[in-house]
Structure 1
Amino acid sequence: MTSFTGFGPKALPFFEALKFHQTKAWFDENRGLYESDVLEPMTALIEDLTVAFARKKIPLKGDGKRSIFRLHRDVRFSKDKSPYKTHAGAVMTRSGDKKDPGLLYIHIDPTGCFAAAGFYRPEPPTLAAFRKAMLANPRKAEALAAKLEKSDLPLRTFDQLTRVPRGFEALKDGPLDGLVRMKSLVVQEDLPERLVRSPKLADTIIDFAARARPLLDFGWQAVD
């Protein structure tokens, strides 16, 4: 196993160039750069985080084969037929399966790198269980939101219903009005470019995961 030492100095420039060279010929010519500066560091990062999380009893894990998203885009139902994504992403979950609810996501992108955690557009039964947990114990849900705020990880509000969903009217106009309308329950931390190239990125993500843990625990308890 190779220890993570940072993403390569050409990782972000590679994706910048890929925006303008969406051809197999160009990618094949630069495949070695992608593997050395993006894929290998991401694999090492995921493996190092898996070991660190196990030591800290944070129930998240992954590996290079299952955790990292393919660079090729699924263009079957898209008007944009560009074959390649212009960022790298990886997911860690309790089982290591990308589809397992409750995740840590790492995003490497020249327009902005970040780590995120929580429940991104979960399946309807999972989201319903989350909302029922809020309704059953509103004080616990309020305390969760306050704890995340205190940890500088406010819940993201990018994905909300315009009104409280049916069956949860008791939470309307109260402290949980915004929370129960969310379709994704996610916290995020931006990662500066200099940090992405540093081995310290792993420690930053470990700290982020620990601060995001209350959100993950609340959701897991709701769906298990």
Structure 2
Amino acid sequence: MTDGAFKGFGPKAIPFLKALDFHQSREWFLENRDLFEQELRDPLGDLVDTLTQRFTDAGLGLRGDRKKSLFRINRDVRFAKDKRPYNRHVSAILSPDGSKAVQGVFYIHIGLEGCFAGVAWWQPEAALLLAMRRAIETWPDRFRAMVKALKKNGLELDAEGAMKRTPRGFEHVTDKDLVGAIRSRHFAVRHAIDPAGIQTVALVDELVDFTLRAKPLLDWGRAIEGNVPEC
């Protein structure tokens, strides 16, 4: 049990993930479950609780729950060729309503692939994605102002995973920056976390600072989302 205040991930957090990735065994995991909870799961829950309070104080409109916000360490292998049972990371989401089912979220990832945080409208459903593309087309100055504000804050939109061709209905858009944005399947910014820094409470301030710098993206998406008709 913890008092809910984040004090840092344990010193054996990354070594545990390396060992779990090596063994990929249910038996090994159950034998070492206490270590997982002490070094990774409980601190991640504390981080969600602490960030929820800090995000509330900062007016960011993001919250989470130490149980519901955390992703499982177990992989869903039902339809995967890779049948390894465990992830190589732990992660969690804070969102406007505290669930994982909405957009405009904060994401934290601690793992062997790297440690990072993100603020994102990640692969939004079709109606919202279309509305975002229409907003870029119709109000390009608003989109560019958001991008400029992010850049001023040291952030850039993620360009990975974009469509190779412009989606139907937007062929008339020719400005290079707008074309690139309209081809995007998501709108996200990322912050790299030094793995050496995950063991200290200073990680909280670092993540709050990042999310405040990413607020122009949250505000832009929320303004659009609020005008999408409900199905």
TM-score, normalised relative to structure 2: 0.94
Alignment counterpart, residue 84 of structure 2, candidates 82, 85, 90:
82
Question: Paired residue for 1:16?
Answer: 18
Residue in structure 2 matched with residue 35 of structure 1 by the alignment: 37
State the 1:171 CA deviation. Answer: 2.4
Deviation (angstroms), 1:110: 2.4
After superposition, the CA RMSD in angstroms is 1.1
3-state SS of paired residue (1:108): strand
1:194 Cα deviation (Å)?
1.7
Q: Per the alignment, in what secondary structure is the counterpart of residue 90 of structure 1?
A: strand
The amino acid across from 1:111 in the alignment is: E
Shift of 1:143: 1.1
* Unaligned 5+ runs, structure 2: 227-231
Q: Which residue of 176, 190, 198 maps to 1:196?
A: 198
Contact 1:13 1:110 in 2 (8 A): no
Instruction: Give the CA deviation at 1:172.
Output: 2.5
- The within-5 A match list for 1:37-186 is 37-186=39-188
TM-score under structure 1 normalisation? 0.97
Q: Matched residues in 2 for 1:71 and 1:219: separation?
A: 30
Q: Note if 1:208 corresponds to 2:210.
A: yes
For the residue of structure 2 that corresponds to 1:171, the secondary structure is: coil
Runs ≥4 in structure 1, deviation > 6 angstroms?
none
What secondary structure is seen at the aligned counterpart in 1 of 2:68? Answer: helix
For residues 34 and 151 of structure 2, what CA distance do their matches in structure 1 show?
42
Structure 2 SS opposite 1:206? helix
SS of the equivalent of 1:190 reads: strand
TM-superposition CA deviations, 1:66-96 (whole Å, max 9, x none): 1100111111101111111110010010000
Deviation track 1:94-121 (CA, whole Å, cap 9, x = no partner) reads 0001111111000001231000011111
Work out the CA distance in 1 between the residues paired with 2:172 and 2:81. 42
Distance in 2 of aligned mates of 1:48 and 1:62: 10
User: In structure 1, how many angstroms separate the alpha carbons of the residues matched to 2:4 and 2:102?
Assistant: 26
Q: Which amino acid aligns with 1:70?
A: R
Please give the secondary structure, in 2, of the residue aligned with 1:116. Answer: strand
Contact 1:164 1:172 in 2 (8 A): no
Q: Percent same amino acid among aligned pairs?
A: 40
Match of 1:187 among 174, 177, 189: 189
CA distance, structure 1, for counterparts of residue 174 and residue 180 of structure 2:
9
Asked if the contact 1:116–1:186 (Cα under 8 Å) also holds between the matched residues in 2, the reply is yes
Query: Following TM superposition, by how much is the alpha carbon of 1:8 offset from its aligned partner in structure 2, in angstroms?
Result: 0.5
Q: What are the superposed Cα offsets for residues 140-198 of structure 1, whole Å, 9 maximum, x if unpaired?
A: 10111111122111001111011221122232234311111110111001000121111
Name the residue aligned to 2:229.
none
Amino acid at match of 2:142: K
Give yes or no for contact 1:71–1:84 (8 Å, CA) kept in 2: yes
**Corresponding residue for 1:217?**
219
